[in-house]
Chains A and B, each alone.
Chain A
């Protein structure tokens, strides 16, 4: 892997659960500083793809390089790999027994063996970045959904990862809370934090997305600049999908 600029390279990824093939040969690259958008109808394999990428599930076939290292190799230390990948879940998954601050610092303390003071300093910095420094000492149950997701972003960011994966980060949120999370994600994208975002938020995709991958039935059926694909989809599936999204949004904003 000579190209230093490529953070993540995925080559011909396959995954099936029993007889059901979920991923059928996925290939793409993520360059440093890039924001890659993945979308597609539910069941198209987006979440499985993300989970394969940080080895929460193992792909059946294909290779993944992270910063030039083949992480599908069995000898690779999975925990080391995951430290380099930030993951933001749809359901936040904040640690319930820890304050916002501790949620952000625990990875640094336990995994990176950082001193407590240093870890807390970084954690506080990250919370400030997502606009939550006042809530540092609250527990997850005391935060709104949007605040929880922002803490989760700070938690991923604190580990100083090579890339951050977002798995439908706004799908579990009430509509009025989506904005604050998207704002934070946009700011990070403008700061050139490398990220892969599975989302249906087309506004977000058009503003900060560098490339959009449209997945259908376990394959990438269309790829290109988000604006182009959303306005003039070539594929039949893509057309149908965006039509439905437009209808949904039109109904909601009416």
Chain B
């Protein structure tokens, strides 16, 4: 096999692992972001404090450090993760924390009249949050959430640090065998850039599709 043939076929395997990581951590981080935001705005003092503390902690730590703590330090406390799940857990927690900031801001920006009208119809707090508040907040927070997901795609390469055989790990390994860094790493760079660009365009379409007059982000 030529250099390119074997390189590309190897990269493909790594790319699939990267996609697996993202397929789990992207939707899970969005849910966590929504949940944390709701907990911070609507939770009682205790719950809101815990959620805020979690967000502040995860936003203060570099993702690398979070990841290394989860994989190397937590086993000392009896909490074990496989490399794959250590990475996925770190990504979900970190991205979810950042996303929750956008969602929380969006919830806060919604007029109290919306809540009053929901109550006047006889909605419970939960019905109000799921049917009235979150659909509006999500739309307003979407550009920010999109940004965080793009970051997540790029930072998924950090999974290599705990031994996950994803795209970058494969590229690095291949380079150690062949040592053609320019070809290998620029190809890898372009694959990531391609993924990020596709995701950006995809989310922009989603924003357009979900657009409602009067609910634009200002």
Contact = CB atoms under 8 A, between A and B. Distances in A.
A111 B132 CA distance: 12
Task: Output the residue of A97, A139, A156 with the most chain B CB within 10 A.
Answer: A97
A56 B114 contact: no
B124 interface: yes
A61 interface: no
B116 A106 contact: no
B173 interface: no
A26 to B, nearest CB: 20
Chain A: interface size category = 20 to 34
B114 A96 contact: yes
A200 interface: no
A214 interface: no
Interface residues of B, number: 22
Contact of B117 (A80, A95, A139, A159): A95
A89 B124 contact: no
B19 interface: no
B213 interface: yes
A168 to B, nearest CB: 14
B78 interface: no
13 contacts: A54-B120, A56-B120, A79-B123, A81-B122, A89-B113, A93-B114, A93-B116, A93-B117, A96-B212, A97-B139, A111-B123, A141-B213, A141-B214
Listed from nearest, the 8 A-B pairs whose CB atoms lie closest are A141-B214, A93-B113, A83-B122, A87-B120, A93-B117, A82-B122, A107-B121, A141-B213
